[in-house]
């Protein structure tokens, strides 16, 4: 599911913005592309320092939409590639995937594991 272009974007520095839906409407937060790790199941591991509202929205059934982009990656029309990734997520605060994230991000209280169901290239 995660093609080479997506994987290259995740090695570039840039904002990665994601949105969930709560009872009061959309909730948008962000991290850095370079903070996101890929596991053996093509799921994205995102360190969570806070993200409390995001976690609550996911527990209440919200999906996740993540926007990633990097100017230094070849896109559809030249320099710059970006994707909208849609999927479901869960939070873990123990276990192997949490420990993997914690090695690089000591401030992480949990890991958000994002299972991508759809990837749409925008640029």
* Residue ranges per structural domain of the chain: 4-121
What is the reported pLDDT for 2? 80
Distance CA 56, CA 46 (A): 16
The answer on pLDDT for 1 being more than 70 is: no
Domain 4-121: CATH superfamily, name plus number? Electron Transport, Fmn-binding Protein; Chain A (2.30.110.10)
The answer on pLDDT for 9 being more than 80 is: yes
Average pLDDT of the residues of the chain: 96
Six token digits for residue 2: 């995660």
Whether pTM > 0.85 for this model: the answer is: yes
Distance CA 68, CA 14 (A): 8
Structure confidence by residue, pLDDT tens digits, 87-114: 999 999 999 999 999 999 999 999 999 9
Q: Taking residues 29-56, what's their average pLDDT?
A: 96
The answer on pLDDT for 70 being more than 90 is: yes
Q: Which is it for the CA torsion 34, 39, 42, 45, positive or negative?
A: negative
């Amino acid at each position: 599911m995660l093609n080479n272009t997506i994987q290259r974007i995740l090695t570039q520095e840039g904002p990665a913005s994601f949105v969930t839906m709560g009872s009061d409407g959309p909730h948008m937060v962000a991290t850095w592309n370079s903070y996101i790790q890929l596991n053996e199941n093509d799921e994205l591991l995102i360190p969570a320092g806070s993200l409390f509202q995001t976690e609550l929205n996911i527990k209440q059934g919200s999906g996740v939409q993540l926007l990633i982009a990097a100017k230094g990656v070849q896109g559809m029309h030249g320099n710059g590639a970006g994707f909208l990734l849609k999927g479901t997520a869960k939070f873990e605060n123990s276990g192997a995937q949490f420990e993997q994230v914690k090695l690089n991000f000591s401030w992480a209280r949990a890991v958000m594991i994002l299972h991508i169901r759809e990837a749409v290239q925008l640029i």
